Amino acid sequence: QVQLVESGGGLVQPGGSLRLSCAVSGLRLEDYAIAWFRRAPGKERDGALCISDRAGDTWYADAMAGRVTVSRDNAKSTVNLQMNSLSPEDTAVYYCAAVTDYTGNWFFQWDDYEFWGQGTQVTVSS
């Protein structure tokens, strides 16, 4: 059974940082691209915020570039998302998602992915 479990969310002040983790089980992480998504309160889910592919290459949405870093540890079956300079606009539920990646393509939409986590809440507020 495949499971993706996010953790690390919480309440942080504006300008602060958080490190989210996505623990993967039931699949070989090295065979999958992992993306992070988010859904803000009352809004539609964003497209992919960032992606880590099988080779360890990364892609970032323009809105996130420079503020977030995605990294993976295949041995620990974990993908991390370091977020800095957080603002209230970053308040959302953050999700990780996995897709088998043998094509070398990037996948930007939620529905492109095969497995999803349950999300972790991030609240940025003073």
3-state secondary structure 21-56: EEEEECCCHHHEEEEEEEECCCCCECCCCEEECCCC
- Distance between CA 49 and CA 47 in Å, rounded? 6
What is the per-residue pLDDT across 15-74, written as a single tens digit (0 to 9) for each? 999 999 999 999 999 999 999 999 999 999 889 999 999 888 999 999 888 999 999 999
pLDDT of residue 23: 98
What is the per-residue pLDDT across 89-107, written as a single tens digit (0 to 9) for each? 999 999 999 999 777 789 9
- Distance between CA 115 and CA 94 in Å, rounded? 14
| Section 74-101 average pLDDT | 96
- Distance between CA 70 and CA 52 in Å, rounded? 7
